[in-house]
């Protein structure tokens, strides 16, 4: 009976120190969820920025032939004068 009591006391001490030490050693769950949300927001922002860059690039590519035609027309008009 004494040995069982000693083991229970030892387990009780382990539980106490585990409960006391682990929360201090590990990041809080709240911080973890904030970090995950920040990473998700960063990913979404990167996707939005990539889409915006792609849209601007595509628009520039579509307008490039028009700009080149206008340049040729201006040169032609200057030569005619």
Q: Where are the domains of the chain?
A: 2-80
Report the residue count for the chain. Answer: 81
Please state whether the predicted TM-score (pTM) of the whole model is above 0.75: no
Closest of 43, 63, 66, 67 to residue 55, by C-alpha: 63
Q: Is 26 helix (H, G, I), strand (E, B) or coil?
A: coil
Mean pLDDT to the nearest integer, 58-74: 70
Q: What is the pLDDT of residues 13-55, one digit of tens each?
A: 888 887 777 766 666 666 777 788 888 998 998 998 888 888 8
Please compute, for residue 45, the number of CA atoms within 13 A of its CA located in the half-sphere on the CB side: 6
pLDDT of residue 38: 85
């Amino acid at each position: 009976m004494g040995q069982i009591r000693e083991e229970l006391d030892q387990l009780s001490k382990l539980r106490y120190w585990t409960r006391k030490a682990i929360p201090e050693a590990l990041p809080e769950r709240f911080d973890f969820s904030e970090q995950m949300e920040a990473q998700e927001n960063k990913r979404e922002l990167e996707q939005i920025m990539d889409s915006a860059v792609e849209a601007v690039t595509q628009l520039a590519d579509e307008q490039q032939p028009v700009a080149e035609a206008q340049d040729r027309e201006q040169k032609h008009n200057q030569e005619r004068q």
